Structure 1
């Protein structure tokens, strides 16, 4: 099985870009970490509110 030359060239270009770290300027680590923290707090809240002793 072989892929067309244009697809291979596109994959090579994609791989070359990945070796430079691949960081996106739009992803703010404080925003992502804060969002994950809020989601975990909400999960903790839901878990503790609906935990009923039997």
Structure 2
């Protein structure tokens, strides 16, 4: 259900969503079947390892620039 806001201009009706209708829409979307899992070639260990490497690299770069002089 979408609430319609009243505007002074005739012919221009903008829908506004309340928190309740937004939550209801997201719950319906989450309950729909399909789209389970990711791509077959994406290994969670490789993805996690790559993310860990990138975060450690960023941490190392940050600490190099943040030296006390």
TM score, norm. by length of structure 2: 0.46
How big is the alpha-carbon RMSD for the aligned residues of Structure 1 and Structure 2? 1.9
Q: Which has the higher helix share?
A: 1
Distance apart, 1:20 and its partner CA: 4.2
- Bigger CA radius of gyration: 2
TM score, norm. by length of structure 1: 0.58
Unpaired segments ≥5 residues, structure 1: 1-17
Regions of 4+ moved over 6 Å: none
Number of residue pairs matched? Answer: 37
Distance apart, 1:23 and its partner CA: 2.0
Q: Which has the higher strand share?
A: 2
Q: Distance in 1 between the 2:51 and 2:37 partners?
A: 21
